[in-house]
Amino acid sequence: MLLHFTKMHGLGNDFMVIDLITQRARLDETRIRQWADRHFGIGFDQLLLVEPPRNPDMDFRYRIFNSDGSEVENCGNGARCFARFVVDNALTTKREIRVETQGGPLTLKLTADGRVRVDMGAPRFEPAALPFDAEADLPVHRIEIDNEAVEFGVVSMGNPHAVLVVDDVDSAPVLTLGPRLEAHPRFPRRVNVGFLQIVSAHEARLRVFERGVGETLACGTGACAAVASGIRRGLLTSPVDIDLPGGRLTLEWSGGDDSMIMTGPAERVFDGRVAI
């Protein structure tokens, strides 16, 4: 059996996207890891599945699997690619699309300039939302790693994030501290780790070590979490342009229970077929 797929990226965060509305397939972790391999497979950060909704108020169900085969709750760069995919493949004629995810519903809107605007929902800071083992909801938490204090904010964007403020993202210990914090026992479901550099009140830089993936060129939910933490700590003011290694996203958040709005590009790379 040949399964059609599309390779896409959002700021270099790359995806294999499969339509499971007009096609049928049963995928397991072993197969996902094989496809994710950049030498012997297709290669991607995440696999995105387009499925029929379970909720009649939704247009689609959106599922996300990391390259290690684990299913995760949300992916902002993937959400933009998801919207571009369902429109380009004539799975919908709508320009505003509601999708259900493990992390909750998302609203995706294609803009006139070809970018995608995503209502990411409200950031949540209470430790139980991630989950994170802490006694209180604080703007800044602290963990001892190798006898050194590491300070960070915690944010849930439907998936868990820890945000560290650094002087310079280029020299930040992303590849050494990132995996240590990702797997720290106080994060029982692991955590995405963002390293945030403040440039001005409306501009920042970010690198993200993603749970189950490693460092990626961009992380949409990580950008949302970084901006939310920065605003909460008085370091940033909405709107914020945030530069990741793969490009720039624009984030808007008015605070409180208001939604975080993310705007950015989504690009199709190629279409292919894989035997299963």
Catalytic residue among 174, 213, 219, 262: 219
Domain, as residue range, for 246: 127-258
- Report the half-sphere exposure of 93 (CA within 13 A, side-chain side): 0
- State whether 111 and 7 are in the same domain: yes
Q: What is the pLDDT along the chain (276 residues), one digit of tens a residue?
A: 899 999 999 999 999 999 999 999 999 999 999 999 999 999 999 999 999 999 999 999 999 999 999 999 889 999 999 999 999 999 999 999 999 999 889 999 999 888 999 999 999 999 999 999 999 999 999 999 988 999 999 999 999 999 999 999 999 999 999 999 999 999 999 999 999 999 999 999 999 999 988 999 999 999 999 999 999 999 999 999 999 999 999 999 999 999 999 999 999 999 999 998
Closest CA to 117 of 255, 244, 239: 239
What CA–CA distances, in Å, run from 114 to 73, 88, 264? 26, 12, 9
This prediction's pTM: 0.89
* Structural domains in the chain (count): 2
Cβ–Cβ < 8 Å for 12, 217: yes
Two tokens at 257? 């229970």
Residue 103 is predicted with a pLDDT of 87
Say whether 224 is catalytic: no
Nearest residue to 228 via CA among 191, 258, 186: 258
Question: Do 52 and 134 share a domain, yes or no?
Answer: no
On the CB side of 175, CA atoms within 13 Å amount to 3
Residues 28, 92 within the same domain = yes
List the CATH number of the domain containing 251.
3.10.310.10
Known catalytic residue at 219 = yes
Does residue 218 share a domain with residue 144? yes
Asked whether residue 132 falls in the same domain as residue 249, the answer is: yes
Q: Of 18, 36, 64, 75, which is the active-site residue?
A: 75
Q: Do 253 and 131 lie in a common domain?
A: yes
Element (H, E) at 76: helix 76-88
Which whole-number Å values give the CA distances from 170 to 9, 22, 175, 218, 244, in the listed order?
Answer: 23, 44, 11, 14, 11
Residues 153 and 234 in one domain: yes
43 and 152, same structural domain?
Answer: no
Predicted confidence at residue 154, as pLDDT, reads 98
Same domain, 133 and 251: yes
Q: Are residues 84 and 175 in the same domain?
A: no
Residues 157, 193 within the same domain: yes
Q: Same domain, yes or no, for 165 and 239?
A: yes
Q: List, in sequence order, every residue forming a beta bridge with 51; answer none if it has no partner.
A: 61
Helices 220-232 and 76-88 cross at an angle (nearest 10°) of 140
